[in-house]
Structure 1
Amino acid sequence: MAEKILLVDDEPNVLDGYRRTLGREFTLETAVGGQEALALMEKAPYAVVVSDMRMPGMDGVQLLSRVKTQSPDTIRVMLTGHADMETAINAINEGSIFRFLNKPVTKDMMAKTLTSALVQYRLVTAEKQLLEQTLSGALQVLTEVLSLVNPAAFSRAARARRYIHHVVTSMKLGNPWQYEVAAMLSQLGCVTLAPETIDAVYKGDTLSPEEQAQYDSHPNVAYQLLSKIPRLEPIAWMIRHQNRAVSQSENTELPDIRKGAEVLRLVLEYEQATHQGASRTEAAHTLARQNSEMGPEFFAALVALDPNAEEGQVKRCSIDELYAGMIIQQDVQTNGGSLLVSTGQEVTPTVISKLKNFHARGSIDGYVKVSSAKSTLSFVKAASS
């Protein structure tokens, strides 16, 4: 599909002239004034917006500043018959103008400007797409590594993600993908811990001082890994503070991130309590008594989620019948008792290869319990957008 260009002027005859002279070379749409332009942008994106400077109601600087906020990737061009230094400075500073053209503009000059603007738009969007694909791939690798190295930790992270997804959806919190990614990567630092330590923690057993110190350090391990990845710095901060309450004086310049850390902490504590046998209501009431910052809506959302509601139909199938996207519904252990794949883990090509290898060696049975529940890795696409 050809990229669309929006031309904005308060004089319809000027817009008609643009359509006649440039309509065959470019995909053009026109708007009479800034308000009409913004209304059109609500319906569909534009690669380039060209606006006249002097318009009643909303001038070109105001319009292109709004365009920048509403559609940052759109390339912005300003036309004016009143070229003065102050106007140019305001247009560049407030609207991040790509080109500033003095009227009258010849057909050739306008065509060259539009062509250059489209090239710039393609460069910006191509780089953005590459970054998004890189981030998406990095998140998938990290979560899959966790699922292979420490299935129990991955299973806990997957359960926490389901709780957080329900909470942020119910409460309509902004940037929900950040909360979900934080939950899914919250146990990443557990790759440094012995499986026995993880099992003891999840069962509620008492740890030795050395084991407790090791476990307490896992959020910081994850922070050190994730803070090096662009766009994940806020998530790394949330994860770093998952084991303690965050005071309102901390990170006050980013209150949403501080709130995210508190949501993650409470969800993980709730997951731990219910996993160890507490009822949903009992676990939520205990946390509510200990926490004055999160309102009753948060705890009501936790209680409302049935952790088994998303399981779908559970069936027993052979390893050869597995396909990506299924969810493991029963721990897969070797004949010697080692955990290979944990309940709640998503089946991926790597998981299938792992199970086939162990089955070929006679270390596991050839059947597993699975369901077709929603993928635990589906949050990755939203994270990169």
Structure 2
Amino acid sequence: MNHTLTIQAIDDDSDDLCWLEELLWEIPNIHVNFQGFRQLDAGLAALKDNPGDVLFLDFRLGAKTGVEAFKDIQEIGYLNPVILLTGHGDERIAVQALKEGMADYLTKATLTAPTLQRTIFNALEKHRLRQQNIEQKLRMEAADRELLRRIRSEKEVLEETLIGSLEAMTHVLSIMNPEVFNRSIRITRYATAIAKQLNLSVTWKLEVAALLSQIGFITFPPELLHNLARGRGLSHQETLLYHQYPSIGAEMIRKIPRMEKVADIIEYQEDTLDETTDSIESKIVPFESRILKVAIDLDGLESTGHTKQQALDTLRQHAKKYDPAVLNALRALSSKTLPFKTKEVAMADLNPSMILAEDIRAKSGAIVLPKGQPVTFTMLTRLHNFSLFQPIREPIQVLLPVTTLHEELELATGTD
């Protein structure tokens, strides 16, 4: 079966062009459509309008060399194989030709039909493989772009789902049990302060876990929470129920995309190191859970009437329960008050990260909410409803705990 190939050549010697055409016709099993050009400009015009399968290019083309002419050929968009021809062998020219991207190099003195056949088919095969690699690379790049687009799209959906889920859960917690929600705010403040003391560079999982650490309590009867908040003893049944709240909360959190590690932190937040006899087994407890354990117990002691110093002394008396590094970090923190900054905000800018630094009053002077209260979603709803009937004095002075990565950046840059 014969193959038809369009072979083009640019050579300022007409005899060499005729000789090349004759040798090409001697190649078996191919039909050659030959086009020869003595002028570079004429050859370039033909290549631009009707590029052939292979181009032979003489090394001497008037004022230009074949290598220089090859650059002109590339500029018009010719992509098929180019084979350089020269009157005398020169290894330096051969290396330069191949380096510039030509398919091959032949000396006219060695030209025969078999040599041309082998060189042409080798050049065509290399070109085919090169084009195949380029197409495969383009397909892979397109696939990578599509994958990146889908990943970004999925990431945006997941982030929106995550943020929406967290807002919904904290909102439910603040409505169903403001006292438990306020406790989670305090625990978050302690936990992030400890993390900073330990020089942890990433604390977002800890902050989210601390904020949702008490969400398992929303399934408990009010009597249990009432007794727990006031430090009263729990019955055997209530104690069994109490020990389930971390796993209940963890299961609720685990249903949210990308929150599996946060759920693990919450699940182990009440585990103590002296409950495990094997030191290897104790490593299963996430380090963030160990931080939460100290923060939860500290807040629990303070909530039941212990002073901060009494609470710290009690934790130290039961040091085997806690991670030594976490307890040492808390001890270092105990010598200083957790930092806050005062800020004046509009009522519309109040959010649950704040504590009221002054009474919120109506313009009539009546106290609407007393100072010292953490801001909750329930409070914001009540305040909004109140403002529909009586205007509120603004701005409102609040305290912001300086215990988050965001606050760290603010302090570092000196911005407010």
Q: Tell me the TM-score normalised to structure 2 length.
A: 0.51
| Alpha-carbon distance in 2 for matches of 1:224, 1:173 | 26
Partner of 1:29: none
The 3-state SS of whatever aligns with 2:256 is coil
> Alpha carbons of 1:230 and 1:145: their partners in 2 closer, same or farther (altered >3 Å)?
same
**Aligned equivalent of 2:123:** none
Aligned-partner Cα distance in 2 for 1:378–1:173: 10
Larger deviation, residues 298-307 vs 116-125? 298-307
> Which of 284, 293, 301 is the equivalent residue of 1:273?
301
Partner of 1:132: 159
Structure 1 residues not aligned, in runs of 5+: 1-16, 22-101, 333-339, 380-385
Which aligned pairs between 1:97-136 and structure 2 lie closer than 5 A? 107=134, 109-136=136-163
8 Å CA contact retained: 1:155, 1:343: no
Number of aligned pairs? 270
The CA distance in 2 between the partners of 1:288 and 1:229, in whole Å, is: 36
Matched with 2:288 is 260
Q: Tell me the distance in 1 between the aligned counterparts of 2:220 and 2:370.
A: 17
Identity across the alignment (%): 24
Show the 5 A alignment for 1:17-96.
none
Partner of 1:157: 184
Letter in 2 for 1:313: T
- Alignment partner of 1:183 out of 206, 210, 219: 210
Matched to 2:218, the amino acid is: V
- Equivalent residue for 1:245, pick from 272, 286, 305: 272
**Alpha-carbon displacement from aligned partner over 1:77-106 (angstroms, at most 9, x marks no partner):** xxxxxxxxxxxxxxxxxxxxxxxxx76766
Write the distance in 1 (CA, Å) between the matches of 2:332 and 2:208.
22
Residue 156 of structure 1 deviates from its aligned partner by 0.8
In structure 2, distance between residues paired with 1:357 and 1:378: 33
Give the counterpart letter for 1:321 in structure 2.
Answer: M
- The reply on whether 1:323 has 2:320 as its aligned counterpart is no
Whether the 8 Å CA contact 2:354–2:399 is kept in 1: the answer is yes
AA partner of residue 274 (structure 1):
E
Amino acid in structure 2 at the alignment position of 1:323: D
Q: Find out whether 1:290 has 2:318 as its counterpart.
A: yes
AA aligned to 2:171 is E
> Cα 1:343–1:195, aligned 2, differ >3 Å: closer, same or farther?
farther
Quick one: structure 1 residues 190 and 255, their matched pair in 2 at CA, closer, same or farther if it must change by over 3 Å?
Answer: same
Which deviations, in whole Å up to 9, do the C-alpha atoms of 1:97-130 show, x marking residues without a partner? xxxxx76766555444323322222112221232
Q: How far 1:193 sits from its partner (Å)?
A: 3.3
CA distance in 2 between counterparts of 1:205 and 1:330 reads: 31
Q: 1:352 deviation in Å?
A: 2.4
**Deviation at residue 283 of structure 1 after TM alignment:** 2.6
> Measured at CA, do residues 261 and 181 of structure 1 come closer, stay the same or move farther in structure 2, by a change above 3 Å?
same
**Residue 192 of structure 1, aligned match among 192, 215, 219:** 219
Partner of 2:341: 312
Q: 1:220 aligns with which of 237, 247, 261?
A: 247
Post-superposition CA distance 1:8-34 (Å, at most 9, x none): xxxxxxxxx9xx99xxxxxxxxxxxxx
CA distance, structure 2, for counterparts of residue 248 and residue 214 of structure 1: 21
Determine if contact 2:294/2:322 at 8 Å carries over to the other structure. Answer: no
**Residues 265, 375 of structure 1: alpha-carbon distance in 2 compared, 3 angstrom cutoff:** same
Give the aligned residue type for 1:312.
Answer: K
Confirm or deny: 8 A CA contact 2:268 2:285 kept in the other structure: no
Whole-Å separation in 2 of the counterparts to 1:308 and 1:322: 29
Deviation string, structure 1 residues 29-60 (Cα, Å, up to 9, x no partner)? xxxxxxxxxxxxxxxxxxxxxxxxxxxxxxxx
Q: Is the 8 A contact 1:152 1:198 kept in 2?
A: no
**Aligned equivalent of 1:170:** 197
Larger Rg: 2
Pairwise CA distance, 1:275? 3.3
What is the rounded CA distance, in whole Å, between the counterparts of 1:199 and 1:369 in structure 2?
Answer: 32
SS at match of 2:156: helix
The aligned counterpart of 1:141 is 168
Q: Secondary structure at the match of 1:129?
A: helix
Alpha carbons 2:213, 2:249 under 8 Å: kept = yes
Any unmatched runs of 5+ in structure 2? 1-70, 76-128, 360-368, 407-416
Contact 1:219 1:240 in 2 (8 A): yes
For residue 292 of structure 1, give the secondary structure of its aligned residue in structure 2: helix
2:381 to 353, 360, 367: 353
Report the Cα distance in structure 2 between the residues aligned to 1:220 and 1:200, rounded to whole angstroms.
21
The residue type paired with residue 300 of structure 1 is N
Equivalent residues of 2:190, 2:295 under 8 A apart: yes
Which one has more relative contact order, counting CA pairs under 8 Å at least 6 apart? 1
Amino acid at match of 1:221: I
Q: Which amino acid aligns with 1:147?
A: S
CA RMSD of aligned residues (A): 4.5
Q: Distance in 2 between the 1:207 and 1:215 partners?
A: 9
Q: Secondary structure at the match of 1:121?
A: helix
Assess, with a 3 A threshold, how the Cα gap between structure 1 residues 294 and 251 changes in structure 2: closer, same or farther.
Answer: closer
Which position in structure 1 is the counterpart of 2:365?
A: none
Deviations 1:257-311 (A, max 9, x none): 4433333222211111233343444433432332337555422322444796444
